[in-house]
Amino acid sequence: MRKSVLILTALAWQLLAGSFFLTPGNPEASTEARELRAVLTVKAAGCLDPATAKVTATAIGLVNGERRTVPLEVKGLSEPGMFAVISQWPKEGKWVIELVGSSGAKFTNTLVAVGPDGPDRTHAKYDWHKFEERDVEAMLR
């Protein structure tokens, strides 16, 4: 049993080697992010030069049954590959934050649902292919 777990762990790390992903974080853990009144921090991670990463964010929501899209301000922090996302969407409705990252030819994206207490970082969805409309719709339900 132990040997199987070790083999599976080694294989998982090989799959992630050379990958690029965005990890949503707690803005309260960063003085810079708190000063910017960020709602979320994002760390570009994987085998890349973090200084080359570019991140954009969009809030996608349903307000009174109407679909809305709000481009969000993303500011680079002093640590290479760290970003702060500033809240710019209305309080009413249901929202999902779509984070899109690029570094050279590498692409990644992450979806983060926004609940009454803010972004739900623990249930974020990650993919190396662009999310489809149905993925966003499922998180808005």
Residue from 117, 139, 119 nearest 127 by CA: 139
pTM above threshold 0.75: yes
The mean per-residue pLDDT over the stretch 38-43 comes to: 97
Domains of the chain: 20-140 (2.60.40)
Residues 6+ positions from 40 with CB-CB distance below 8 Å:
24, 25, 27, 57, 84, 85, 97, 112, 118, 119, 121
Q: Which of 40, 37, 140 is nearest to 96 (CA)?
A: 140
Task: Provide the pLDDT confidence category of residue 51 given band limits of 50, 70 and 90.
Answer: confident
Tell whether the model's pLDDT for residue 11 goes beyond 80: no
Q: What is the 3-state composition of the chain as percent helix, strand, coil, each rounded to the nearest 5?
A: 25, 45, 25
